[in-house]
A and B are shown apart, each in its own frame.
Chain A
Amino acid sequence: AQSVAQPEDQVNVAEGNPLTVKCTYSVSGNPYLFWYVQYPNRGLQFLLKYITGDNLVKGSYGFEAEFNKSQTSFHLKKPSALVSDSALYFCAVRAPSNYQLIWGAGTKLIIKP
Chain B
Amino acid sequence: EADIYQTPRYLVIGTGKKITLECSQTMGHDKMYWYQQDPGMELHLIHYSYGVNSTEKGDLSSESTVSRIRTEHFPLTLESARPSHTSQYLCASSESFGLNYGYTFGSGTRLTVV
Contact = CB atoms under 8 A, between A and B. Distances in A.
Interface of A: 32, 34, 36, 41-46, 49, 51, 88, 90, 92, 94, 99-101, 103-106, 108
A103 B42 contact: yes
A66 to B, nearest CB: 18
Nearest to B43: A103
Nearest to B90: A43
Contacts, number: 57
Contacts of A42: 1, 107-108
Nearest to B95: A99
Nearest to B88: A41
14 contacts: A32-B101, A36-B102, A41-B108, A42-B1, A42-B107, A42-B108, A43-B90, A46-B102, A46-B103, A88-B40, A99-B31, A99-B50, A100-B45, A106-B41
A19 to B, nearest CB: 18
Interface string B93-105: 0101001011111
> 7 smallest A-B Cβ distances: which pairs?
A43-B105, A105-B42, A44-B105, A43-B107, A43-B108, A103-B43, A43-B1
B42 A44 contact: no
Nearest to B10: A41
Given A94-B101, A99-B50, A99-B94, A106 B110 contact: no
